[in-house]
Structure 1
Amino acid sequence: MKFGQVDAPEEFDFTIPPDPPETTKLLKQTSKSDDFEVYVGCAKWNKKDLKNFFPKGVKDELGYYSSQFNSIELNATFYRLFPKETFEKWYATVPENFRFFPKLEQTISHYKRLKEVQESVDANVKNMSHLQEKLGMPFLQMPDNFAPKDFDRVVTFIENWTNKIPLAIELRHTKWYNDPEVSNALYALLQAHGVTNVLVDTAGRRDLMHMRLTTSTAFVRWVGANDAESDRARLDEWIKRIVQWKKAGLQKLLFFVHQNEEQESPALAAYLIERLNKKIGTNLPIPKTLPPKGLFD
């Protein structure tokens, strides 16, 4: 994931902003439940991208991945509409507790830019629905040049999302979050329709960093900077915030680990899972990761 990539991560301030009062209020209003759901995973499951993860001889990449993680942020669906048979195969491959969080097709977000997209949306949802109960939450990711001047398209898209499947949205133009009039209207729209506001933490786009939840689900897309020290320190800070959110009433956490160069995403996700288990009492299996290859391997 190249979004927000920088050459010198040590020059950036990775401080997580404080929660706005609206997030605190939302979580307090959430009906408390003993069932706190946590899904942590990567964005891809193939050997080419996930270095130091697959043992030698593994052929069923999804099968092995799903034995280690309980979820996947499914980026492959952004590039094309897979047939229902593919979703059915994926469904049959993974365990009962595994969840997919697929990205809606780029035809919807980048080519048509939410204009006259209902047919494409219906096709995406229809095929994704073959994941049945293992379909977690599809999400829409808009390009960074999609600005608030097209707010009406966002309104129409959300109002037309009548599926029972919950939806998350990620917007990347800075004005969505840094123009108070726009951001307040956006958050009100998402919250009124039960749409989850995706939180993105990446080095080169600190202008997008905000902590405004619009549902009792936190959907975090976290991008490491391929710097071992700062990446782990950043995850430690996220764990502190997640602890606070859980106490305040958060019901579900979706946390997906990326890197600019996907070298250590599984290890960073394992690092996060191990510490979440200790801090909030989850009992997620800790994925096995292989040691980095040595100079003479």
Structure 2
Amino acid sequence: MKFGKVDNPDEIDFKLPADAAANKALLGEAKKQDHPNIYIGCAKWNKADLKSFYPKGTKDELAYYATQFNSIELNATFYNNFPVETIESWYNKTPEGFRFFPKLHQGISHWKRLKEAKEQTDIFLDGIAHLQEKLGMLFLQMPDNFGPKNWENLKAYLEDWPSGFPLALELRHTGWYDGSWDSEQLYTVLEKKNISHIITDSAGRRDLLHMRLTTPTAFVRYNGANVDSDYTRLDDWFERLEQWTKEGIENIYFFVHQNHEEASPLLSAYLIKMFNDKLGMSLKIPHDPNSEKQKTLFDGK
């Protein structure tokens, strides 16, 4: 994970921005429910990246991962259009209630840059539809050099997006958020199309961190820095998510990334435990094969 990587995380102000003024009214119109649907997980299940997470002798990483987490942010689909048989195998290896959150293929977002991308989009959706009810939400990540000058292309693509596939959007150009462009144009289209606005919290890209929701869904991509402050940052995130829960948020999708991914399950487990302890949720806390490490983590925080 190179995006937002820094060499001096201790010198960064990780304070979250104030809540967006529009959020309270938006959440006030959400469906009333006892508690939000909460999905917390990692970005990948590859054993090479999460080698300390899997018990010795694990033969199928996804099957084991799905016994510990209720979701996965599926970055692999950004790099490959997988055959239907592979997608169906993901479905069959995971339990009822598990959810996948696949990233749209780079051919759509980075190569075509959304222009004349209908054929590529249809091919992608035809395949990913085989996840059936385990498809949580797709997300479209645009490259760093895709800024407001590309607004008309983005708008056209979003307005043509099929409503049967839940979608979230991640933008990585500062111009969308620095006040140099009227961002209300973007929010209006996202709200109209019921497309969620991804919140990207990365150590080295504080310029992209916003708090503007466009649906009653908080989709957060959290990039840690492999330092102790990763946990205190999660404390702050829990407070914000708790606030949104009280105001009526319907869905919380929170995915943890690390430069060294071995820490991702521990960070995810830490956040899950806060939801259980402080909001009375009953989410499964992922097991750490090194139980003493897990005990130390929770006793010391």
Q: Secondary structure at the match of 1:178?
A: coil
Kept after mapping to 1: 8 A contact 2:49/2:262: yes
2:89 is the counterpart of 1:89: yes
2:269 is the counterpart of 1:270: yes
Kept after mapping to 2: 8 A contact 1:52/1:292: no
| 1:35 Cα deviation after fit | 4.8
| 1:116 Cα deviation after fit | 0.5
Q: Secondary structure at the match of 1:243?
A: helix
- Provide Cα deviations, 1:172-225, integer angstroms capped at 9, x if missing partner: 000111126432211111111100000000111000011000000000000000
Q: Secondary structure at the match of 1:263?
A: helix
Aligned match of 1:160: 160
Kept after mapping to 2: 8 A contact 1:31/1:249: yes
Aligned match of 2:56: 56
- Provide Cα deviations, 1:32-61, integer angstroms capped at 9, x if missing partner: 112520000000001101132000000110
CA distance in 2, matches of 1:147, 1:212: 18
Aligned ranges for residues 1-297 of structure 1 at < 5 Å? 1-179=1-179, 181-227=181-227, 229-291=228-290
CA distance in 1, matches of 2:291, 2:80: 33
Kept after mapping to 2: 8 A contact 1:51/1:262: no
- CA RMSD across the alignment: 1.5
Kept after mapping to 2: 8 A contact 1:148/1:182: no
Structure 1 window deviating more from structure 2 (139-148 vs 182-191): it is: 182-191
- Provide Cα deviations, 1:116-138, integer angstroms capped at 9, x if missing partner: 10011111111000000000001
Kept after mapping to 1: 8 A contact 2:45/2:65: yes
Aligned match of 2:297: none
| 1:278 Cα deviation after fit | 1.1
Kept after mapping to 2: 8 A contact 1:27/1:216: yes
CA distance in 2, matches of 1:75, 1:240: 27
TM-score by length of 2: 0.95
Structure 1 window deviating more from structure 2 (185-194 vs 63-72): it is: 185-194
| 1:271 Cα deviation after fit | 0.7
| 1:263 Cα deviation after fit | 2.4
| 1:11 Cα deviation after fit | 0.5
Kept after mapping to 2: 8 A contact 1:43/1:258: yes
CA distance in 2, matches of 1:148, 1:14: 26
Amino acid at match of 2:248: G
Q: Secondary structure at the match of 1:264?
A: helix
The gaps in structure 1 that reach 5 residues or longer are: none
Aligned residue pairs total 293
Amino acid at match of 1:283: S
- Provide Cα deviations, 1:96-116, integer angstroms capped at 9, x if missing partner: 010000000000011111111
CA distance in 1, matches of 2:258, 2:269: 14
Aligned match of 2:299: none
CA distance in 2, matches of 1:250, 1:103: 23
Structure 1 window deviating more from structure 2 (25-34 vs 146-155): it is: 25-34
Kept after mapping to 2: 8 A contact 1:69/1:285: yes
Kept after mapping to 2: 8 A contact 1:42/1:72: yes
Kept after mapping to 2: 8 A contact 1:66/1:98: yes
| 1:29 Cα deviation after fit | 1.6
Kept after mapping to 2: 8 A contact 1:72/1:101: yes
CA distance in 2, matches of 1:164, 1:271: 33
Identical residues among aligned pairs (%): 55
Amino acid at match of 2:82: F
| 1:292 Cα deviation after fit | 10
| 1:20 Cα deviation after fit | 1.3
TM-score by length of 1: 0.96
- Provide Cα deviations, 1:228-260, integer angstroms capped at 9, x if missing partner: x20000000000111100000100000000012
The gaps in structure 2 that reach 5 residues or longer are: 294-301
